[in-house]
Structure 1
Amino acid sequence: MKFKFLILSILIATNSIAQNFSGEIEYEIKIIPKNKNFNLDSLMNIKKGSIAKYVITNNKYKSTYYKDNLETYSYTYDDVSKRMYDNYVENPYITYRDSRRANFNYKGSKIHLDSTLIILDKSCFMVEYDSDYGKSKVYYSNEIKVAYDSFKGHKVGNWYEKLKEVDGCLSIKTITEFDEYYEIQEAVKITPRTLDNEEFSLPENKKVVASYTALDKRVELEQPNQNVINCYLSKIQDAIEKKGIKDSKTSYLSFVVTDTGDIKYVDALEDDSLGLFKVAIDILDNCDLKFIAGEIDGKPVSSLTYFPIEFNPKK
């Protein structure tokens, strides 16, 4: 173990004089099922894409996903606000997370200097990670690195600690194991270049709102009056009878609650075959449910929230 640590220290010292990377890494994403009965098409439909283009320099980065050559999603880190901005192309809004709030519990890592690969003519060493997200093997090259101190405090993805452990080296290949499949993300093109601030800018035609994870105080439903309750129950019972529902079902809605309590951008998380999502949207649109805005630092903010509409037939 001491010998491996010494070798790693030498590698880091040798490469510390190398210029920090600024540019773009293009990754190809593949799914490998563990068994032949796995529904690969169903999984690919919900994945963000098969290509990811990652631009990074000290203090900032942006990752953009593509499916069938069309952009689907991107997330951008801003060092000034410490926010991560999530932009789904189909949504009329962008949400932000606080990068200083961890999203997973990381259990540990192990560096394997003797487990190496040559990827894009670069020698890579491997690190194993274990977390609530799953187990993964990540290959790094000492030739592609950033100043890890420029991301200090970035806890989402355990990003700062992972960078620090490998002296700022960036992932060249990642293999993540899930219950039924492996996901492999491997660099297919690395392009060093100067990055302009415009490459990290957000679309000006979209409203920016907080993710629920960024809130200090979550959105709350106001106590409904009897008219609201009657409207809600009437639409639920009507749907149960017309659609012949025998078992309890739930339709989940997403929407933005503005800092003044207005409801915008109502959508269903899933379009069920019975059309209950339409009833759920109708309830939110027409039954006058009211919500109290979420808060950050004691101030109300606009934020994305989720709300269940339950259809429970009488037994």
Structure 2
Amino acid sequence: MKNILRILLICLSGILHSQNFKGEIVYSNTYESKVAQLSNNQLNVMLGTTQNYFTQNGNYKSISNGKLILWQLYINKENKLYNKMGNSETVYWNDCSIQGDEVLKAEVKKNAATILGKTCDEVILVCKSGIQKYYFNSSVSVDPNLFKNHKFGNWYDYISKARAFPLKMIIENQQFKMVSIATKIDNKDVADSFFDLPKDVKLEQSK
């Protein structure tokens, strides 16, 4: 009986581990400008110091307290990323099958950081645009096949290696360096309607 119980627990553990994370991750963001015309504080105001990231079933929505991009919405079945800018009523969208960058080298390092008490491995992407570092833990795991067509922003390059949502990101390019760290993880159901576009919204493809 003890052996049977042990096997059942192992099997259940595997099932739970394979489940896709759904819910909300809250990130705190800081920026370091690399151009004289743009201060760190201006980047804080434009891009936002707090990001609320909601995800379920391969969809995600990111809401920022910045003034430049108010929210981003990825609709999985369309493979499009919608962007609501603070200075326009139009919602602009990107075709996520177009990468817009190139990953030159990828590397994984074990036990690279501890975030919210969770030991995280690191994925380093050396890209044409700069260096991207992601830190992840299996507690927020996801099936990468959900995002197999999401090449935009090198997302599938990351998610295919980590198989989890990031708990910390360091994105560095010629203009600035951004550090984004999770401050809260909330595993919960998110209503399907949360990932709907607003009604009668004007749409236009990003150029």
User: Which TM bucket (shorter chain)?
Assistant: 0.7 to 0.9
Match of 1:84 among 77, 81, 85: 81
Count of paired positions: 194
Q: Encode CA deviations 1:35-73: one digit per residue, 9 max, x unaligned.
A: 9xx83234434x321111111122211111113xx8952
Whole-angstrom CA distance in 1 between matches of 2:142 and 2:199: 29
Q: Is residue 66 from structure 1 mapped to residue 61 from structure 2 by the alignment?
A: no
Q: Encode CA deviations 1:63-111: one digit per residue, 9 max, x unaligned.
A: 11113xx895211111222211111143111111111111111112110
Answer yes or no: is the 8 Å Cα contact 1:64–1:71 preserved in 2: no
Return closer, same or farther for 1:154/1:177 CA change in 2, 3 Å cut-off.
closer
**Structure number, greater radius of gyration:** 1
Return closer, same or farther for 1:93/1:191 CA change in 2, 3 Å cut-off.
same
Q: Percent identity?
A: 24
Equivalent residues in 2 for 1:148-297, closer than 5 Å = 148-166=144-162, 168-179=163-174, 181-212=176-207
For normalisation by structure 2, the TM-score amounts to: 0.82
Q: Encode CA deviations 1:255-292: one digit per residue, 9 max, x unaligned.
A: xxxxxxxxxxxxxxxxxxxxxxxxxxxxxxxxxxxxxx
For normalisation by structure 1, the TM-score amounts to: 0.56
Q: Is residue 31 from structure 1 mapped to residue 31 from structure 2 by the alignment?
A: yes
Whole-angstrom CA distance in 1 between matches of 2:68 and 2:102: 30
Moved over 6 A (4+): none
Return closer, same or farther for 1:107/1:20 CA change in 2, 3 Å cut-off.
same
Higher relative contact order (Cα pairs below 8 Å, separated by 6+ residues): 2
Return closer, same or farther for 1:48/1:110 CA change in 2, 3 Å cut-off.
same
Partner residue in 1 for 2:50? 51
Instruction: Give the Å deviation of 1:125.
Output: 0.9
Return closer, same or farther for 1:112/1:17 CA change in 2, 3 Å cut-off.
same
SS at match of 2:159: helix
Matched AA of 1:156? F
Answer yes or no: is the 8 Å Cα contact 1:15–1:142 preserved in 2: no
Structure 1 unaligned spans of 5+: 1-13, 213-315
Q: CA RMSD in A?
A: 2.6
Whole-angstrom CA distance in 1 between matches of 2:154 and 2:118: 25
Whole-angstrom CA distance in 2 between matches of 1:55 and 1:34: 30
Answer yes or no: is the 8 Å Cα contact 2:69–2:83 preserved in 1: no
